Structures are given as C-alpha cells and as structure tokens.
C-alpha cells in the first residue's frame, strides 16, 4: 500500500464518532465502528463481510470472470434453523442457477467459514481456516438447491454427479490466531471468485485488513 493509502487507513482506524458513516453502497451502510473491526485483531462484523461480498459480486460482472452471487451472512443460519420457507423470498430477484459460483458465508457462533457452490464443477465445498469438516452444511445447501429449483423453476434439480467436499487443513491456508477467521473466509472468497489459487498465509492478514478497509471506503477492489 502506498503512503497516501496508509495515511488514509490510519485515520479510519483512529478514534472519532463511532456512528459516522464512511461508506454506503448495496443498500448497506458502513460506520467508523464497523471499519474498526478491521483494525488489529478485532473480529469482523456482518456489515463488513456483507459489504465485501457485494464488492466481489460487482467485480464478477467484469469480462472473463466467473459470474458470482453471494448470500448475506444471515442466510445460512436462517436456512439451517428455519428451513427453506424462511429464505425462499431472499432470491426473488436473483436466478441463482444463472451464475457460476454461489458464495455462502457461514457463521458458527464465534467462527466464520465459507461454503462455495460451483455449478460448473458440480461441487459444494466447505472452507474452514481451522480445518473443520462440515458435511452437514454442504448437505443443507444441496437440499436448498433442490427446493429453490422446484420453487423458482418448477423443475427437479438434477443432483447427479454432484460432490460435497470439505477442504482439509493442509489444502488451504489456516489461521494461527483466534481472530482472523472472518478475514480468511473473505479472502478465500476473493481468490475463488477470480478462479485463482488460494495461496496467501496468516502473515498477509495485517496487510489484507488495511487493504480491505481501503476497498470498502472506496467501494472498489484493488
């Protein structure tokens, strides 16, 4: 990051009116309090993750990138606890079957993970920066695809040839502290949404945090 950027980020993280609005887009509002969750070792909040996922969706409209739809951070919990009926209206204006990738942030109480549906490869893959396996989450999402297809397309979703996978800890970068899980989930999503290999490590996180603060402030990915 250049000096100008560093200066700008410093002032974002400095104290000030916590409710001051620093960025607005995608019908989301980011305040200083939200941005400060990116500072040091704070846990990212829903607002930051949702804003970032929207930036990934925006970018996916570019030529040669896979088409992406990202669900918000409340989607999976709602689906899991209240069932399909509770979320079926969430995609009223979206045809999820028309994209290449679905990104699903998954919040496990105090831990963030990511699930990815890839319609091209017919896979649902779970990414956990603490090496957890979650076949249940993948099954819930496959069931969701079946229900969504019946509801919106009036036809059966063909699950033939679909694979449900959880990435092993040696396959993807793992966090070395108790506070970067949200960052890892976001950066997994960032690489996957570009069809790029996931090759960052824990030591990149302080840089990624600052960079994400800048990206959210300017509403564009570097």
Residue closest to 169 by CA, chosen among 125, 131, 134, 126: 131
Exactly one of 46, 100, 111, 191 is catalytic; name it. Answer: 111
Phi, psi (rounded to 5 degrees) for 26: 55, 30
**Residue 138 appears among annotated catalytic residues:** no
Instruction: Quote the radius of gyration of the chain (alpha carbons, Å).
Output: 17
What whole-number distance in Å separates Cα of residue 123 and Cα of residue 87?
22
**Side-chain half-sphere CA neighbours of 177 within 13 A:** 15
**Residue 181 appears among annotated catalytic residues:** yes
- H-helix or E-strand spanning residue 201: none
Exactly one of 128, 138, 180, 186 is catalytic; name it. Answer: 128
β partners of residue 126: 115, 166
Supply 221's token pair.
């990915």
19 burial (CB, 10 Å; 0-12 / 13-18 / 19+) is exposed
Exactly one of 118, 138, 180, 181 is catalytic; name it. Answer: 181
**Residue 95 appears among annotated catalytic residues:** no
What whole-number distance in Å separates Cα of residue 50 and Cα of residue 105?
9
Structure letter (DSSP) for residue 123: E
**Side-chain half-sphere CA neighbours of 132 within 13 A:** 20
Cβ 54 vs Cβ 70: under 8 Å = yes
- Looking at the annotation, which residues are catalytic? 111, 128, 181
């Amino acid at each position: 990051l250049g000096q100008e950027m560093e200066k700008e980020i410093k002032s974002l993280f400095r104290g000030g009116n916590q409710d001051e609005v620093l960025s607005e887009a995608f019908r989301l509002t980011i305040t200083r309090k939200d941005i400060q969750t990116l500072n040091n070792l704070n846990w990212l909040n829903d607002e930051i993750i949702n804003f970032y996922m929207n930036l990934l969706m925006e970018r996916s409209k570019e030529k040669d990138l896979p088409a992406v739809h990202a669900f918000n951070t409340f989607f999976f919990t709602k689906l899991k606890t209240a069932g399909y009926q509770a979320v079926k209206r969430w995609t009223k204006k979206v045809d999820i079957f028309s994209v290449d990738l679905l990104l699903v942030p998954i919040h496990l109480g105090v831990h963030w993970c990511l699930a990815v549906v890839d319609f091209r490869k017919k896979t649902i893959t779970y990414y956990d920066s603490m090496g957890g396996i979650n076949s249940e989450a993948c099954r819930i999402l496959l069931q969701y695809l079946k229900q969504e297809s019946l509801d919106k397309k009036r036809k059966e979703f063909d699950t033939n040839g679909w694979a449900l996978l959880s990435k092993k800890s040696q396959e993807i970068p793992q966090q070395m502290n108790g506070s970067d899980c949200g960052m890892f989930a976001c950066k997994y999503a960032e690489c996957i949404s570009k069809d790029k290999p996931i090759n960052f490590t824990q030591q990149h996180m302080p840089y990624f945090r600052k960079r994400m603060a800048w990206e959210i402030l300017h509403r564009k990915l570097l």
